[in-house]
Amino acid sequence: MSWAGRHIISIADFSTEDMLHILDLAASLERQPRPDLLAGRLMATLFFESSTRTRLSFEAAMSKLGGQVIGVTDALSSSARKGETIADTIRMVDQYADVIVLRHSHEGSARLASDVSRVPIINGGDGANQHPTQTFLDLYTIAKLFPDRLQGAGAPLRITVAGDLRYGRTVHSLLTALTHFPVCMQMVPVPGLEMPGHCLDEAQMAGCPVQLLPDLETAVAQSDVLYMTRLQRERFPDPLEFEHVKSAYRVDAAMLRSAAPQLRILHPLPRVNEIAVDVDTTPHAAYVPQAGNGVPVRQALLALVLGRAEVAVGSGA
Amino acid sequence: MSWAGRHIISIADFSTEDMLHILDLAASLERQPRPDLLAGRLMATLFFESSTRTRLSFEAAMSKLGGQVIGVTDALSSSARKGETIADTIRMVDQYADVIVLRHSHEGSARLASDVSRVPIINGGDGANQHPTQTFLDLYTIAKLFPDRLQGAGAPLRITVAGDLRYGRTVHSLLTALTHFPVCMQMVPVPGLEMPGHCLDEAQMAGCPVQLLPDLETAVAQSDVLYMTRLQRERFPDPLEFEHVKSAYRVDAAMLRSAAPQLRILHPLPRVNEIAVDVDTTPHAAYVPQAGNGVPVRQALLALVLGRAEVAVGSGA
Amino acid sequence: MSWAGRHIISIADFSTEDMLHILDLAASLERQPRPDLLAGRLMATLFFESSTRTRLSFEAAMSKLGGQVIGVTDALSSSARKGETIADTIRMVDQYADVIVLRHSHEGSARLASDVSRVPIINGGDGANQHPTQTFLDLYTIAKLFPDRLQGAGAPLRITVAGDLRYGRTVHSLLTALTHFPVCMQMVPVPGLEMPGHCLDEAQMAGCPVQLLPDLETAVAQSDVLYMTRLQRERFPDPLEFEHVKSAYRVDAAMLRSAAPQLRILHPLPRVNEIAVDVDTTPHAAYVPQAGNGVPVRQALLALVLGRAEVAVGSGA
């Protein structure tokens, strides 16, 4: 499948080969900066809800490749307020820009946008549904931390997802992505926020069953990667219950004394209470460089959909 | 009159020759991209009210010519809140930028700004008053759709404006612009939202009287261009009246079966209910490329007021 | 002390030599534009409260040196709302950008940011505490208006600060900066808004005592520089008292008939009522070019902390 002009909507649209291609290109662009690769190309960021991390890293990615950026951070307060549909907004912005990064609270909005757009749409998060560029950067982070392991070298990586496994779109998408690779998946859900059955079934059918671990202590001792997620107060009907879970469901430096030495902790950020600040200075903390990996991964995606990936790799060699 | 340093405030400030010059330059820049024409030049967008379309197309125009952009989209929430006058805000921003695009809800604000600014002011809409760059892109769209007709080749174009002709600044300005050309003007006002008498008098005196058509069906059958406008709920004291007009005043694909083959439908966008979605796929729909024409037209205006138009045409030939 | 990588947090961190170096570099960059000096460098503006003037002039400075900008103007409404700490936000943004300009309402936030950041932090104002780049541009303005006088040529400059000397961080920082130079400091406080004792003590100990003048008329007759400040309504518990002071504490053209010919009036802007509009056209008005001086001064600071100052001066000579 050709990459130029392709939309980036859902992690389910990508094959193993696609994923490895993105990771390779990101690594190449991280090794070898290409400050003119996207010169003359214009990216529009169309954010109907604010997202500092996603927007800034896309803008940084575009800028570092020599491209330019136009954007709307308050999309809701402008045309949409006058009653314009997303489809019409996209048909306007695709007249101005060569690629559109869209973030919208409605599930399916990115797919809808891709149906009408003349230029590639990159989904920067559509509600509780998909946030594929987050998943690619998570995958890239794991690949960087454990070279060749995703491709099958050595024992399968033991990857544990923990926390709100019910609503957290990042863990659902990550699980989908990881079924393409020889890994051993584990989980530590917060009671009441267990992984939905269809996610577990999907993983099972893909030959990647998810093992239940009893607690975070076990996860810390028996994982290569521990992927923590943010607990959101609004998921808990009972405030007392939230307070209880919030203090119980927490990794700190003391707990890490029994960690496997190679354990690396990831988090899509922002964290609130899930990872204590005293973890930051341990060798296990990998969530800050994880955020930084958003830049090369988004550079790779922009280069791909704008048809400049061959050029990137060609002279980057 | 020299273009370098000129302010773009009101459509009434421009001669026929000026308008043709803008259209020619826009066409030249659309044919022949000039990615370095405005290198080193800085445009400030100073938006006291939000406007996705106008701002993004100005930013795209500047970026595609190699210029750079700084901007304030929340101008009201910052200096103005501390009590700063528009005049003082302009005297600050003109220290930083080479050209200022201003949008403000007060009529006359752009003229006021031009009185104090050291750099060219481009009016991006001042309340109900003027939005000249919209008019130039409307004119450019008509000239592109019907080559040489504005300059007198063939029969006069039959151009119909329809909808809210009372408050719609875009139709007022478009009428003013079109009196410079040999066209046949027609109108289909919503009852109660008729064209103001002074607009009709002005057109009459300019030798371009506006014919009243009985309904949209007639307009569709007897026009080359049908320019629709957005109905705004707040113009109707009676909500029921608004609902009635909203469903009656609407072009759809069925109605277009009796259209003249060459008919093209324009709309300044965003549309709400005035043009049915099933029109989009007919050959009559021209409102989406119309929005796209904002980029070359605004490129032309930026090049002109920044004194780079001769360079643009010189090496673009 | 090396400049590359240095944080710009408080005016108290800079020696006389530092200040002169900044002023020299700003003058050099104003004389000799360097459109590629910061090519490939990325500046993030992280504004937790809005500030048109500071943000736009930083963005203009970066753009005019060929650098690129990413930014958050609504920082509070995004990650911070999800409960992210400033420290975590900085650790994210420093993954994307080469320098961060931070504005935050909390005193000490910039120092805190500099403790965790991998890249230079420039304080764009932290509450009532510090706004060092404003002070450098004030100093640069004085140095431009009265060449060589700060370095000791001729009689000491007579510099009067007037208005709200209690809460105005700009006058506190300016006083700290001016103690490095042979000037004669004078003040005209609004009653109840006198300079804090520790500021007066600090100046006294630095050999730069601050003389009290009886009124604005005296200041106008006996100053080279009159630095006015904005009166903020919220500083006055009694609204009537505010109205009284607001009309009394005001420079207008009539008052300036008794001014020393060389008198120049400065103001950090925005002004409200403190300087009448009829002053604008007198030769004494210097507050508008003062705002413009923010660009070369911020260019100098960016070049310094990004390690490009030697290059700037080297080929700018």
Q: What local confidence, expressed as pLDDT, does residue A317 receive?
A: 37
CA angle, residues B185, B190, B193, in degrees to nearest 5: 90
Could you tell me if C42 lies within 8 Å of chain A, comparing CB atoms? yes
Spatial distance between the Cα atoms of C86 and A178, rounded to a whole number of angstroms: 33
First to last CA, chain A: 23
Q: What local confidence, expressed as pLDDT, does residue C317 receive?
A: 37
Q: What local confidence, expressed as pLDDT, does residue A1 receive?
A: 62
| Fold of the domain built from segment(s) B11-131+294-316 | Rossmann fold (3.40.50)
Give, for B188, the enclosing helix (H) or strand (E): strand B183-189
With CB atoms and an 8 Å threshold, state whether C92 touches A230.
no
Q: What local confidence, expressed as pLDDT, does residue A75 receive?
A: 66
Q: What is the per-residue pLDDT across B208-227, written as a single tens digit (0 to 9) for each?
A: 899 999 999 999 999 999 99
First to last CA, chain C: 23
- Chain A residues within 8 A of B292 when measuring between CB atoms: 95-96
Helices A169-178 + A132-145 axis angle, to 10: 60
Q: What local confidence, expressed as pLDDT, does residue B316 receive?
A: 42
Sole residue written with tokens 């808990």: A236
Q: What local confidence, expressed as pLDDT, does residue C316 receive?
A: 42
B135: helix, strand or coil: helix
Spatial distance between the Cα atoms of A183 and A201, rounded to a whole number of angstroms: 16
- Three-class secondary structure assignment of chain A: CCCCCCCECCHHHCCHHHHHHHHHHHHHHHHCCCCCCCCCCEEEEEECCCCHHHHHHHHHHHHHCCCEEEEECCHHHCHHHHCCCHHHHHHHHCCCCCEEEEEECCCCHHHHHHHHCCCCEEEEEECCCCCHHHHHHHHHHHHHHCCCCCCCCCCCEEEEEEECCCCCHHHHHHHHHHCCCCEEEEEEECCCCCCCHHHHHHHHHCCCCEEECCCHHHHHHCCCEEEECCCCHHHCCCHHHHHHHHHHCCECCCHHHHCCCCCEEECCCCCCCCECHHHCCCCCECHHHHHHCHHHHHHHHHHHHCCCHHHHHHHHC
Spatial distance between the Cα atoms of B90 and B105, rounded to a whole number of angstroms: 15
Q: What local confidence, expressed as pLDDT, does residue A246 receive?
A: 85
Locate the DSSP E strands across C156-236: 157-163, 183-189, 210-212, 225-228
% of chain B residues with pLDDT over 90: 80
Going from the C-alpha of B83 to that of each of B80, C125, C237, C274, the distances in angstroms are 5, 20, 19, 12
Q: What is the per-residue pLDDT across B103-138, written as a single tens digit (0 to 9) for each?
A: 998 999 999 999 999 999 999 999 888 999 999 999
- Chain B residues within 8 A of A70 when measuring between CB atoms: 56, 59-60, 63, 69
Please say if the pLDDT value at position C81 is more than 80.
Answer: no
Q: What is the per-residue pLDDT across C226-262, written as a single tens digit (0 to 9) for each?
A: 999 988 887 888 888 888 888 889 999 999 999 999 9
Q: What is the mean pLDDT of chain C?
A: 93
Please say if the pLDDT value at position B315 is more than 60.
Answer: no
- Chain B residues within 8 A of C58 when measuring between CB atoms: none
Which of A180-189, A231-240, C11-20, C197-206 has the weakest average pLDDT? A231-240
Q: Which has the higher per-residue pLDDT, C132 or B233?
A: C132
C-beta atoms surrounding A166 within 10 Å:
16
Q: What is the per-residue pLDDT across C55-74, written as a single tens digit (0 to 9) for each?
A: 999 999 999 999 999 988 76
Going from the C-alpha of C221 to that of each of C186, C246, C271, C274, C283, the distances in angstroms are 12, 21, 22, 17, 15
Q: What is the mean pLDDT of chain B?
A: 93
C-beta atoms surrounding A281 within 10 Å:
9
With CB atoms and an 8 Å threshold, state whether A60 touches C89.
no
Q: Looking at chain C, which subunits does it touch, using at least 3 CB pairs closer than 8 Å as the criterion?
A: A, B
Q: What local confidence, expressed as pLDDT, does residue A204 receive?
A: 94
The CATH classification of domain A11-132+294-316, taken from the options 1.20.1370.20, 3.10.105.10, 3.40.190.80, 3.40.50.1370: 3.40.50.1370
pLDDT tens, residue order, chain A (317 aa): 689 999 999 999 999 999 999 999 999 999 999 999 999 999 999 999 888 899 999 999 999 999 999 988 766 656 667 788 999 999 999 999 999 999 999 999 999 999 999 999 999 999 888 999 999 999 999 999 999 999 999 999 999 999 999 988 899 999 999 999 999 999 999 998 999 999 999 999 999 899 999 999 999 999 999 999 988 887 888 888 888 888 889 999 999 999 999 999 999 999 989 999 999 999 999 999 999 999 999 999 999 999 999 888 765 43
Closest C-alpha among C303, C247, C264, C43 to residue C142: C264
Half-sphere exposure of C296 (CA within 13 A, CB side): 23
Of A7, A34, A45, A54, which one is the catalytic site residue? A54
Across B215-229, b (16+ Cβ under 10 Å) vs e yields ebeebbebbbbbbbb
DSSP label of C63: H
Over range B41-63, report the average pLDDT. Answer: 94
% of chain B residues with pLDDT over 70: 96
Q: C124 and C102 in contact (C-beta within 8 Å)? A: yes
With CB atoms and an 8 Å threshold, state whether B52 touches A89.
yes
C-beta atoms surrounding C258 within 10 Å:
11
Going from the C-alpha of B125 to that of each of B55, B180, B211, B303, C13, the distances in angstroms are 11, 22, 28, 20, 46
Of A6, A7, A64, A103, which one is the catalytic site residue? A103
Going from the C-alpha of B196 to that of each of B9, B188, C44, the distances in angstroms are 21, 13, 49
Give, for B121, the enclosing helix (H) or strand (E): strand B121-126
**Residue of chain B nearest A67, judged by CA positions:** B63
Domain A133-292 is found in CATH 3.30.450.20: no
Quickly state the pLDDT bin for B317 (edges 50, 70, 90): very low
Is A53 an active-site residue?
A: yes
Q: Which has the higher per-residue pLDDT, C316 or B34?
A: B34
Q: What is the per-residue pLDDT across B146-193, written as a single tens digit (0 to 9) for each?
A: 999 999 999 999 999 999 999 888 999 999 999 999 999 999 999 989
Which of A149-153, B300-304, C119-123 has the weakest average pLDDT? A149-153
Spatial distance between the Cα atoms of C11 and B204, rounded to a whole number of angstroms: 67
Q: Which two three-digit tokens encode residue C191?
A: 């009653």
C266: helix, strand or coil: strand
Residue ranges per structural domain of chain C:
11-131+294-316, 133-292
| Shared fold status for A11-132+294-316 and A133-292 | yes
Q: Which two three-digit tokens encode residue C300?
A: 């100098």
Q: What local confidence, expressed as pLDDT, does residue C254 receive?
A: 97
C-beta atoms surrounding A192 within 10 Å:
12
With CB atoms and an 8 Å threshold, state whether C84 touches A271.
yes
With CB atoms and an 8 Å threshold, state whether B60 touches A78.
no
Q: What local confidence, expressed as pLDDT, does residue B277 receive?
A: 96
Q: What local confidence, expressed as pLDDT, does residue A313 receive?
A: 79
Regarding pTM above 0.90, the answer is yes
Q: Which has the higher per-residue pLDDT, A285 or C315?
A: A285
Sole residue written with tokens 């009539």: C254
- What is the length of chain B? 317
With CB atoms and an 8 Å threshold, state whether A288 touches C42.
no
Please say if the pLDDT value at position C113 is more than 60.
Answer: yes
Spatial distance between the Cα atoms of C241 and C193, rounded to a whole number of angstroms: 12
Please say if the pLDDT value at position C297 is more than 80.
Answer: yes
- Chain B residues within 8 A of C294 when measuring between CB atoms: 95-96
Closest C-alpha among C107, C91, C97 to residue C44: C97
Cβ under 8 Å to C: A residues 101-140: none
Half-sphere exposure of B226 (CA within 13 A, CB side): 32
The residues that bridge with B210 in the sheet, in sequence order, are B185
Quickly state the pLDDT bin for C315 (edges 50, 70, 90): low
Q: What is the per-residue pLDDT across C142-176, written as a single tens digit (0 to 9) for each?
A: 999 999 999 999 999 999 999 999 988 899 999 99
C-beta atoms surrounding B262 within 10 Å:
14
Residues near B116 by beta carbon (within 8 Å), at least 6 away in sequence = B87, B90, B91
Q: Looking at chain B, which subunits does it touch, using at least 3 CB pairs closer than 8 Å as the criterion?
A: A, C
DSSP label of B267: -
Q: How many CB pairs under 8 A join A and B?
A: 66
Q: Which two three-digit tokens encode residue B75?
A: 């101008």
Going from the C-alpha of C104 to that of each of C49, C128, C213, C268, the distances in angstroms are 6, 10, 35, 18
Spatial distance between the Cα atoms of C100 and C58, rounded to a whole number of angstroms: 11
Which of B10-19, C216-225, C246-255 has the weakest average pLDDT? C246-255
Could you tell me if C79 lies within 8 Å of chain A, comparing CB atoms? yes
State the complex-level ipTM. 0.94
Nearest CB to C84; choose among A60, A73, A270: A270
Please say if the pLDDT value at position C187 is more than 50.
Answer: yes
Q: Which has the higher per-residue pLDDT, B197 or B315?
A: B197
CA angle, residues C9, C10, C14, in degrees to nearest 5: 105
